[in-house]
Each structure stands twice: as structure tokens, then as C-alpha cells.
A = this chain, B = another copy of it.
Amino acid sequence: MLQNTEPVAPAYRRIQYALRKRIEAGELQPGDAVPSERELARNNEVSLMTARHALAELEHDGLVDRRRGAGTFVSLPKIHFNRLASFTEQMASRGLPARSRILCLSIIDGEQEAVARLALPPHSRLVKLERLRQSGEQPFAVESCYLPADEFAGLLSRPLERRSLFATLEREYGIELQYADEEVDATPASARIAELLGIHAGAPVLRIRQALYSTGGKATLYVIGFYRSDRHTLQIRRFRK
């Protein structure tokens, strides 16, 4: 007879989940000791190896530090370097007011560069969303996003004024963005860009071209942005190994 086998999380996952929640809730602060392997084993009625597995993975994820002879401690909140974040998220993390104005939202064709970067057949139709990014009243970037029209034509009727594109893609389309490859260079502002950004034509702006990939390595979004370089610097951390 078939049991009603609802999938149950492994013990070590449940232990991790409980600890994560206590850390996120602030009940366990950075530097605080978390329960030892033996304690976790007793309290959760699992063997030492299982409790150990839970803590070892948490350490690997950077949530805790383990010190032999001393214990396991909540680690300092890790700074996310090189994290792919939406404009809205970036501004929020700096405590700045984020606004954007939609300059263009339509279906286009003939954007060869975007089509190529999205690995689509030539002449594919695209949704184009162009926005002026502002911090308060100060404009500092013009960003154009391109997506395959086949899948995302519905975006034309979404409230993109109010909700971030990332959020819409993730919540309404179930898209899980994974990473972006970016190409950065410096270029003189065109007359149009200059006017939108309130600078002189020909002034240097930072140009960032991003191809964003979702689960499975599928290219789903291509973005070209022009940034006033007096109001925006790009921060990167690179590692030797």
C-alpha cells in the first residue's frame, strides 16, 4: 500500500532552518555562540554526525564560524560583493530614494545587438523598456532593457512604474535570475543622453552592457545603461584565487 509520503526535510536541514531563522530574527547576534554539536544532537534527538553536518554546511555558507576548542559563532553579516542587484535594491541598500521615469515601453524589432546577446533568431521582436533612473530629482542613468517579445509581451500592461522589473520577472513570471555578464567602458554622451542626464554632449559617461541569465544559463534580459560618472561609480571586488 502506498503511504501518504509527504516529503519531509532531512533532519540536518530542519536544524539549519531553525538556526537561520534565529539569526535572521536577531535572536542570535554576530559573535554569539550557537548551540554546540552535542547540544544540537541532544535537543533535536539526532546523532552527532547529523548535528555536525548541519553546522558544517552553515559554516560553508558563511553564516557561522567554527573554532575548534571554542565553539561555533554567528559570523559578521557578510557583505555581498559583486551581487547582481536591481536599481531599486541598490538604491535601497544605500538608503537613497529611488525613482524612475519610463521613457519608452513598446515592442520593437531590428535591435540587432540585443537580439544577438539574447541568442535569439535574427529579426526577433523584443520588448523594449527604457527608463530614466533618478535619485530623488537628480537623473543619473538611462537604462534600456530588452526581452524576448514572445515570452514577455505581457510586460506592456504591468505596473512597471511602481514595481521593479526584477521583482516583476521573479514574482509574476517565475524567472530566477542567476548571474549577469557585464561589459563596461567609457563613452561620450550623445546629445539625447546628455539632455536626459543634464550634462554636456560629449561628456564622459560610463556605459554598462549587461546580459542577464536565468536558471539553466538562458539569456533572458539585455540591458544597456549610460551613467553619469560624476554621480555613479562602479564598485567591484576581485579575488586572487
The residues of A with any CB-CB pair to B shorter than 8 Å are 49, 60, 82-84, 176-188, 202-207, 227, 229, 232-241
A238 pairs with B82, CB closer than 8 A: yes
A184 to B206, CA, bound (A): 9
B239 pairs with A178, CB closer than 8 A: yes
Find the B residue at minimum CB distance from A166.
B240
A182 pairs with B236, CB closer than 8 A: yes
Number of chain copies forming the complex: 2
B185 pairs with A233, CB closer than 8 A: yes
Name 14 A/B residue pairs within 8 A (Cβ), A-sorted: A60-B60, A84-B240, A176-B240, A179-B239, A181-B235, A181-B236, A183-B235, A184-B233, A185-B229, A186-B205, A186-B227, A187-B204, A204-B205, A206-B206
Min CB–CB distance A100 → chain B (angstroms): 20
Q: Which residues of B have CB within 8 Å of A176?
A: 240
Min CB–CB distance A32 → chain B (angstroms): 22
Residue from the list B181, B186, B233 in contact with A204, Cβ < 8 A: B186
B182 pairs with A83, CB closer than 8 A: no
Q: Which residues of B have CB within 8 Å of A236?
A: 82, 181-182, 184, 236
Min CB–CB distance A197 → chain B (angstroms): 12
A185 pairs with B203, CB closer than 8 A: no
Residue from the list B49, B184, B233 in contact with A234, Cβ < 8 A: B184
Q: Which residues of B have CB within 8 Å of A229?
A: 185-187
Q: Which residues of B have CB within 8 Å of A180?
A: 237-238
A16 to B204, CA, bound (A): 50
Q: Which residues of B have CB within 8 Å of A206?
A: 184-186, 206
Find the B residue at minimum CB distance from A176.
B240
Apart from the given pairs A82-B238, A179-B237, A188-B204, 14 other A-B contacts in the complex at a CB distance below 8 Å: A82-B236, A82-B237, A83-B239, A83-B241, A84-B239, A84-B240, A179-B238, A179-B240, A180-B237, A180-B238, A184-B233, A184-B236, A186-B207, A187-B229
B232 pairs with A185, CB closer than 8 A: yes
Min CB–CB distance A227 → chain B (angstroms): 8
A60 to B56, CA, bound (A): 12
A182 pairs with B239, CB closer than 8 A: no
Q: Which 4 A-B pairs have the closest CB atoms?
A: A186-B186, A204-B204, A186-B204, A84-B238
Find the B residue at minimum CB distance from A184.
B234
